[in-house]
Chain A
Amino acid sequence: DAGVIQSPRHEVTEMGQEVTLRCKPISGHDYLFWYRQTMMRGLELLIYFNNNVPIDDSGMPEDRFSAKMPNASFSTLKIQPSEPRDSAVYFCASSSHPGQGDGGGLSVQFFGPGTRLTVL
């Protein structure tokens, strides 16, 4: 299994430009998560999807951020317009259904390598 795939690995853009980050989850996983990691705030959950449907987007910082999951094998996180404070590493993760009982074993999230975004 190739694991969670993210692209691009690095993105440098200028303030005001649109940025699109891409993620391919592990096949068969029905949960997909977008995180942002910064020195100041650590690892923050932005949004998550279940079966391609956005379930909780309470972590999305502003209307400039949007995420979609058109099918089970692809998701995007878009920032429009981008600002310097959006500079961070963005991770995508996927997992199977948490399940019941010993659900910890089924709710392990597998992370992609991340996209390092720099907004100048």
Chain B
Amino acid sequence: AQSVTQLGSHVSVSEGALVLLRCNYSSSVPPYLFWYVQYPNQGLQLLLKYTSAATLVKGINGFEAEFKKSETSFHLTKPSAHMSDAAEYFCAVRGSGGSNYKLTFGKGTLLTVNP
């Protein structure tokens, strides 16, 4: 079964600093991976997705993620944090075979941006 682990439930950075949110996956097949963002009192929005076309994936709002098979990782980065990036971020992996409709989410990482 597929699973994801997000390292660090809370990350705090200064405005303008690098953002790095970590996600490691476990999958018996080549995975499809996603990053979602949840702003306060809102639903989840897709940031970016990895579908094997390219290992470096660019998403919205300046975020990108790199798929590293050797490390089973899909970390999310942004070169310069903005106050508006403060939110909770979820990594997710899509199921395979008969479960390819399902997404399994990590526990989430809350990003705080300090002025």
Chain A interface residues (CB < 8 Å from chain B) = 4, 31, 42-43, 45, 48, 50, 55-56, 91, 93, 95, 98, 102-105, 107-114, 116
Query: Interface size (B, Cβ < 8 Å)?
Result: 24
Residue among B42, B46, B103 with most chain A CB within 10 A: B103
Identify the 4 closest CB pairs spanning chains A and B, nearest first: A104-B51, A111-B43, A104-B32, A111-B44
A12 to B44, CA, bound (A): 23
Q: Which of B17-25, B69-77, B94-102 contacts A (4 or more CB under 8 A)?
A: B94-102
Residue of A91, A105, A110, A116 touching B51 (CB-CB under 8 A)? A105
Residues of A near B41 (CB, < 8 A) are 113-114, 116
| B51/A111 in contact, CB under 8 A | no
| A112/B43 in contact, CB under 8 A | yes
Instruction: Determine the residue in chain A with the shortest Cβ distance to B51.
Output: A104
Residues of A near B103 (CB, < 8 A) are 45, 107, 109
Q: Mark B38-52, 1 if CB is under 8 A from A, else 0.
A: 000111111001111
A46 to B13, CA, bound (A): 34
Instruction: Determine the residue in chain A with the shortest Cβ distance to B104.
Output: A45
A108 to B102, CA, bound (A): 10
Q: A31-B101, A103-B32, A113-B43 are in contact. Are A43 and B108 (CB under 8 A)?
A: yes
A77 to B90, CA, bound (A): 24
Residues of A near B44 (CB, < 8 A) are 43, 91, 93, 111
Residue of A48, A104, A110 touching B102 (CB-CB under 8 A)? A48
Residue of B52, B100, B108 touching A107 (CB-CB under 8 A)? B100
